[in-house]
Amino acid sequence: MTSRDGYSWTPQDGLKAGVPTIGAISPPSNVSSSEAVYDVVVIGAGYCGLTAARNCALEGLKVVLLEGRDRIGGRSWSSNIGGYPFEMGGTWVHWGQSNTWREILRYKMQTEVKNSFDFSKGVQHFELNMSGGSATMSHENEDDLVASGLKKFMNVDGAFGRKIVPLPHDTFHVPESKPLDKISALDRINQIASTLTPQERATLEASILLCSGGTLETTSFHEMLHWWAMCGYSYEGWLDKLITWKFKDGQSSFARRFFDEALETKRLTYAFNSAVTKVKDNGSTVTITTRDGRVYRAARAISTVPLNVLKDVVFEPPLSPAKQKALGIGHVNQTVKVHAEISNPALRSWTGITYPHKGVMYAIADGTTPAGNTHIVGFGNQSNHIDPEADIDMTKAAVSSLFCPENYNGQSQQIERLVFHNWSKDEFAKGAWFFSPPGLLSEHLEDMRAPHGNIRFSNSDWALGWRSFIDGAIEEGTRAAMEVRSELQDLKGTRANL
């Protein structure tokens, strides 16, 4: 199956829209009657919606799942090209991510993961291209450099964040930490600037932008601290949890398990290519209208629409002013993620930063493709933002700028394939994973989480723990399903299918 989403480019075929994925669902709908009233309608088939729909269906509710795309997974999905998976969005998982790993164990997938890094052979170096000149170094020195900058950045309390964010699932557990959400990453860098070497500062800034996908000015410092706390307050935990373990067969192999399990209950109705335009709650029933004019009715609705897209849906009655304010602010992540196959197998043990960058800034080697090329995955952000499909030569140049020819005897690195998804231009995402600008979370976290009549809002964007991650999506889908099932159980008592 091929999804409309995503792009690939090869020298032979040029740019093509749409890539193959096992996340595309066929047939796209199993709706038999538009007259049914469901127990719950779930809007969105990313991990959050999949979890909510699956749990509700498992626990006896009649569910209808509506999705604007032709595939499951939302901001996390994989394209499988020639037997090799490319992760178009959210990628890495870890057993420190409680909701995700619970599901991985439940689906017995704990050995279906592999390490992105293999430093056992090849160039075995990190390349740092700065405006002041380039350097190559061992991965040990890379780790020392990045860890040193990050630790200075995070160490606001003399305990590397342990005192100020001791219980990260309660984001502002220490009230004194709230002011740290009012300052930006740049503000914090300015506090420690005199202690940073130029190399530390460049790698630190690149590391921050790799997390937030925004700019240093639009990145909340507290949210960076929150990530750090979730990772166990250490650089080793940071690497382990953020960028190490991925699915051998790609994210869509995981997402399919949720969808297939829900389908097997025979209580799941679904419709893809069904973008929701309107959600109306008359107090006892929620009526959902999709772009194609279809109408779905349910006792409850679970909206998993991302923060940056929520203002495109009409709600009746209108959302609370506080929620509207939060979604008016939105999140700042405009990450550019580009996969490149490069005809140099020795790059398998390469990592690199080019900073400031020309569209792609931070990259790692992520595998060896069936053709024997090195697969690298590179990241850009809001600064010097590119739309990779708009000008392929510019995108290729952005990838190439990661490599300084003098490190390779003057040879440039030949690009054999590009694969990417433009999340900024995606009408159902309008950005990549959530990252908060200063003030958003300390002022509006509860507003984003609040229900609205019979409608629940559930998304990784406002999860408590691994906010922004697949794990936060599953956390939120679990929460919504439990709330809805519990409410309907109370309402309906011993109804047969409850």
Tell me the binding residues for substrate. 379
* Furthest C-alpha separation in the chain: 75
24 within 8 A of 407, measured Cβ to Cβ = no
Task: Calculate the alpha carbon distances from 437 to 166, 209, 341 in Å.
Answer: 22, 12, 34
The verdict on 451 binding a copy of itself (CB under 8 A) reads no
Q: Residue 316: phi, psi to the nearest 5? A: -130, 120
One of 4, 16, 30, 110 touching a copy of itself (CB under 8 A): 110
CA–CA dist 470, 50 (Å, integer)? 11
The verdict on 170 binding a copy of itself (CB under 8 A) reads yes
The verdict on 414 binding a copy of itself (CB under 8 A) reads no
Choices 42-50, 176-184, 362-370, 478-486; region in contact with a copy of itself by CB under 8 A: 478-486
The verdict on 477 binding a copy of itself (CB under 8 A) reads no
Choices 72-80, 169-177, 407-415, 442-450; region in contact with a copy of itself by CB under 8 A: 169-177
One of 12, 111, 194, 409 touching a copy of itself (CB under 8 A): 111
Is residue 406 classed as helix, strand or coil in its secondary structure?
A: helix
Q: Which of residues 68-97 bind a copy of itself (CB under 8 A)?
A: 95-97
C-beta of 110 vs 282, nearer to a copy of itself: 110
Sign of CA dihedral 14, 381, 242, 201: positive
The verdict on 166 binding a copy of itself (CB under 8 A) reads yes
Non-local (6+) Cβ contacts of 171 within 8 A are 165, 222, 226, 441, 445, 464
Q: Give me the amino acid identity at 395.
A: T
The verdict on 401 binding a copy of itself (CB under 8 A) reads no
Pairing, β 268-271 against β 374-380: unpaired
The verdict on 99 binding a copy of itself (CB under 8 A) reads yes
Choices 14-22, 195-203, 210-218, 476-484; region in contact with a copy of itself by CB under 8 A: 476-484
The verdict on 232 binding a copy of itself (CB under 8 A) reads yes
Structure tokens at 320: 């609370």
Q: How far is the CB of 453 from a copy of itself (least distance, A)?
A: 21
CA–CA dist 436, 472 (Å, integer)? 15
Structure tokens at 139: 């991965």
* Tally of CB atoms within 10 A around 396: 17
CA–CA dist 209, 226 (Å, integer)? 15
Q: How far is the CB of 56 from a copy of itself (least distance, A)?
A: 11
**Interface map 240-279 toward a copy of itself (x if CB under 8 A):** x----x------------------xxx-------------
The verdict on 39 binding a copy of itself (CB under 8 A) reads no
List, in sequence order, every residue forming a beta bridge with 420; answer none if it has no partner. Answer: 7, 338
**Which chain residues interact with a copy of itself by CB under 8 A?**
58-60, 95-102, 105-106, 110-111, 113, 115, 166-170, 173, 230, 232-234, 236-237, 240, 245, 264-266, 464-465, 475, 478-479, 482, 489, 494, 496-498
